[in-house]
Chain A
Amino acid sequence: MKKLTSLNMLNTIKRLLPALLPSWRFFDFIVASPRIQFSLLKTENETSRQWQEFRPRPTQLSFAAMIKRLLWNPEWNESLFMVSCAERLLDQPTQHSEDEILKRIQHDITKNHSDTSAIHEASHLQFRILLINRKGTELLQEIAFTSRIQLMQDER
């Protein structure tokens, strides 16, 4: 118990230090970019076949909408946090990052897509991370991570 508390303290200090002594290396290298896709399953043993992009960005966004987002942008900020979780999963996998992504996908689909039949029929959820990178002039995609299959908690 004492060891666990010390470990927690150490981790918190490790996370706080980059704020007190920042590196400020914003966008120094443009690395491969993760995309989160999810699949709804009817049983725990079903194999995911239909993957959907999580929160696909709109085709176009008006200038007024961009300015409005200056004051109110919760969904986009949450999506950026999920991108961070995806990067952490690929870098140093933790249960926390996987749980956060699963929890937020489920919350979003039950809140925003509860009228679709696929949601009502589904009992389980899985996500995967696609990594997009450029090689020469071509964009390449690879599946970098596939999550566990999670039983959906009833939020409907």
Chain B
Amino acid sequence: MSLYDAIRLTEIMLGIAFAQQSLEHLKSFTNERWLFLPRLILAVLLIIGFQAAWVCFLLLLLGIAILHRFQGPYNGGADRMSLLILSCLTLAHFAPTEKWQELAFGYLALQLMLSYFISGWVKISNIDWRSGRALRDVFQFSAYPVSEHLRALSTSPRLLHAMSWSVMIFELLFPFALLSEISLFIALGIAASFHLANACLFGLNRFFWIWVAAYSSIIWFQQWLQIRGIL
């Protein structure tokens, strides 16, 4: 995948994610509509590829305004990932040479890899995650399970123990997926399924769309590393 194709695919996926988020806000308060209606229009422009560099820049400014409006992220990590992707895309568009473009877009790929690896590292460092207790707590009393019925999963310690270790091992091994194209595609398939499960069980739908939007950066990055004989 060329750098141009990877950037374009990221823009399309990001546009879809922003359109979805913006539509959700249009039924809200007037002062939110003033922020999210322009965002929806810019998202559509990004999808069709109209003046993508300036659209990314405007979306970044709007993202900062939204951050200011809610005095922090509205949707935690999903909003932070959105701003990270937008910053990298904007820098890549306005970079003076291809080397700088690669650096900006490569930073996104690196952060995507770290998003899995560090999450796995902080979990495995915690005895509650290693014993499965942390995931039981998530189901038992956290604000995330989407129905009361799901809380019953907290009474299945063996299942949650296995789930905890599966998640931790997958997250920690994620960087090794870069070793080949096939292993990366398999890892991204598993990662997308993981986000899909989080969207279903915990209602974190925005995480699903925004993380998938960053995937083309790591596909391009893996090929970039391979072409240069780094892998």
Given contacts A27-B134, A67-B200, contact A58 B83 (CB under 8 A): no
Residue from B24, B28, B29 with most neighbouring chain A CB atoms (10 Å): B24
Whether a CB of chain B sits under 8 angstroms from the CB of A81 is yes
Asked if A116 lies at the interface with its beta carbon under 8 angstroms from chain B, I say no
**Cross-chain contact of B64 among A12, A24, A97, A132 (Cβ < 8 A):** A12
The A-B contact count (CB < 8 A) is 149
* Shortest beta-carbon distance from A53 to chain B in Å: 11
Surface stretch bound by B, among A28-36, A38-46, A118-126, A144-152: A28-36
The prevalent SS among residues of B at the interface is helix
CB pair A139 B119 closer than 8 Å: no
How far is it, in angstroms, between the C-alpha of A139 and the C-alpha of B64 when the chains are bound? 39
The answer to whether B137 touches A134, judged by C-beta atoms less than 8 angstroms apart, is yes
A-contact 0/1 string along B55-70, CB 8 Å cutoff:
0000000001001101
Residue of A nearest to B72 (CB): A15
- The answer to whether A25 and B24 touch across the interface, beta carbons within 8 angstroms, is no
* Contact in complex: B203, A27 (CB < 8 Å): no
The reply to whether A22 and B147 form a contact with Cβ atoms under 8 Å apart is no
Minimum Cβ distance to chain B for residue A10 (Å): 12
- What separation, in Å, do the CA atoms of A100 and B207 have in the docked complex? 23
Which of B24, B72, B79, B122 interacts with A72 by CB under 8 Å? Answer: B24
**Could you tell me the distance in whole angstroms from the C-beta of B62 to the nearest C-beta in chain A?**
13
Q: A12-B67, A58-B148 are in contact. Are A70 and B72 (CB under 8 A)?
A: no
Per the bound structure, the CA–CA distance linking A66 and B27 in Å amounts to: 20
A52 within 8 Å of B by Cβ? no
Set A60, A77, A132: member contacting B24, Cβ < 8 A: A77
**Pair B147/A59 contact, Cβ less than 8 Å:** yes
Which residue from chain B places its CB closest to the CB of A30 in the assembled complex? Answer: B137
The answer to whether A30 and B71 have CB atoms under 8 Å apart is no
Known: A70-B208, A74-B24, A83-B143. A8 touches B68 (CB 8 A): yes
- Is A69's CB under 8 angstroms from B126's CB? no
Residues of B within 8 A of A139 (CB): 140-141
User: Interface readout for A82-95 with B: 1 if CB under 8 Å, 0 if not?
Assistant: 01100010000010
| A-B contacts, 14 listed (Cβ < 8 Å) | A15-B72, A18-B80, A19-B79, A19-B80, A19-B83, A24-B118, A25-B119, A29-B126, A33-B143, A60-B149, A70-B200, A70-B208, A100-B70, A134-B141
Q: A19-B79, A76-B203, A84-B74 are in contact. List 19 more A-B contacts (CB 8 A).
A: A8-B68, A16-B67, A16-B83, A22-B111, A28-B125, A29-B128, A30-B128, A35-B143, A59-B148, A60-B148, A60-B149, A63-B200, A66-B200, A69-B199, A72-B24, A73-B205, A74-B28, A77-B24, A96-B71
